[in-house]
Amino acid sequence: MKKLINEPGAVVDEMLDGMVAAHPELRRLDGTNVLVRGDAPVDGKVAIVSGGGSGHEPTHAGYLGEGMLDGAAAGEVFTSPTADQLNEMIQATDSGAGVLCVVKNYEGDVMNFDTAAEMAGMEDVEVEQVVVNDDVAVEDSLYTSGRRGVAGTIFVHKCAGAKAAQGADLGEVKAVAENVIDNVRTMGMALTSCITPEKGEPTFDLGDDEIELGIGIHGEPGTERADIMSADEITEHLTENVLDDLDLDEGEEVVTMVNGMGGTPLSELYIVNRKLQSMLDERGIETWDAWVGDYMTSLDMMGCSVSVLRVDDELKELLAAPAKTPALTVTEE
C-alpha cells in the first residue's frame, strides 16, 4: 500500500486537522470528528447537517459554509459516525430554528442519525431527516436496505442549504430536500478497487480487463462485472439506466453530474461528460447546468458516476444561489 498517510488509525483525525488548517472559517467540535461552520449556530437559520463514513472527500465537510451545510460528521473510513457525535453536531448547529439531517441510505448511518435525532429531541431541538437513495444500480446491497445514497446527495446539500439561507422554515427546507431526492438518479462504475488505509489492499478483486458496473461508493458489488469498454460505452450504460429510472420527457430540463471516484483524471471525466451531453441532446432533454469533478469519492478508486437531476424553477433558483464552501463556490450572476 502506498498512501500519503502516517498511521492508518490517524487518517481521519489528521485529515480533519489539515482541513481546518486550510479553512480557518471551519471549526472542529472539541473531542469529536465533527466540523461545523465557524459561525454556527447561524441566528434564526434552519441548520443543514450531514455525515457518514470518511473516504468520500470532499464529502461532506467540503460542503460546509454559506449556502450549504452547517455541520458535517466524519466517521472512520467507510464507517458511520456515532450517534453521540451526530447528536453533538445537531445541538451545536441548532439556532432554535431546527435542524435538517441529510442522510445517505446506509443502515448504520440511518440508525445512528435516528438515535441522534431522538437524543437531540430530548433537549428540545426540532430535528427532521431526509434519506437520499439515488443509486439506481441495485435494490439492496451490502450495508443497505433499499437503494444506496450516493453523489446526488450533493444536490440535496446545495438546494436545501440555499433554501435555509433564504430564511425558509424547517418544513419548507425539508420539502426542498425531498423534491431533490424524488428527482435525482445516479449510477456508478469502477475501473479499479479502492484501498482502505486499515486494510492496505484492494477491497475487491477486479481483473486487468474487467470493470464493475453499478459499484457502490465503498466498493460494494454492482450489477455486473464486464469486460473493459470504451468511455462512450460505459457512459451509455450508466446514462441509460439513470434516464430509464427517471422517466424524463422531451423538453424537460436537468442538471447533470459526472463525478470522479478519486483516482480518475479530470480529463477522463470530461470525456464522459461529452457523451452524456450528446445522449441528452439526442433525447431532446435540456441540460441547464453540467457539473464535472470529484464530488463524492471512494478513496483512490478509478471510475465515475453519472447523476441526472430533473429541475423545476425553484430548484434552478436554489442551485444558482450563492454558496461559499471549500469544495463548491457559486457566485451571484
Residues with Cβ within 8 Å of residue 158, at least 6 apart in sequence: 63, 67, 68, 318, 319, 323, 328, 330
Q: Which residues are catalytic?
A: 56, 218
Sheet hosting strand 127-132, strand order edge to edge:
26-28, 34-37, 71-77, 47-54, 99-104, 127-132
Helix (H) or strand (E) holding 203, with range, is none
Cβ count within 10 A of residue 279: 17
Closest to a second copy by CB, 94 or 294? 294
State the nearest-atom distance from the C-beta of 163 to a second copy, in Å. Answer: 20
Residues β-bridged to residue 130: 102
Closest to a second copy by CB, 54 or 144? 54
CA distance 328 to 154: 10
State the nearest-atom distance from the C-beta of 19 to a second copy, in Å. Answer: 5
CA atoms within 13 A on the CB side of 55: 26
Residues β-bridged to residue 135: 186
The span from the first CA to the last CA of the chain, in angstroms, equals 45
- Chain centroid, CA 158 distance in Å: 10
Closest to a second copy by CB, 17 or 312? 17
State the nearest-atom distance from the C-beta of 27 to a second copy, in Å. Answer: 16
State the nearest-atom distance from the C-beta of 14 to a second copy, in Å. Answer: 5
Assess whether the previous peptide bond of 23 is cis (omega < 30° from 0): no
Judge whether 188 and 260 are in contact, CB under 8 Å.
no
Closest to a second copy by CB, 95 or 277? 277
State the nearest-atom distance from the C-beta of 327 to a second copy, in Å. Answer: 9
Closest to a second copy by CB, 58 or 149? 58
Which residue shows C-alpha cell 458535517? Answer: 72
β-strands 224-227, 210-213: how paired?
antiparallel
Closest to a second copy by CB, 5 or 111? 5
Closest to a second copy by CB, 6 or 145? 6
**DSSP code of residue 273:** H
State the nearest-atom distance from the C-beta of 139 to a second copy, in Å. Answer: 26
Residues that bind a second copy (CB under 8 A): 2-6, 11-12, 14-19, 21-23, 54-55, 57-58, 62, 191-192, 208, 211, 228, 230-232, 234, 258, 262-275, 277-278, 287, 290-292, 294, 297, 299-300, 302-304, 322, 324, 329-331
State the nearest-atom distance from the C-beta of 326 to a second copy, in Å. Answer: 8
In single-letter form, the type of residue at position 241 comes to N
CA distance 232 to 237: 9
Which residue shows C-alpha cell 441526472? Answer: 308
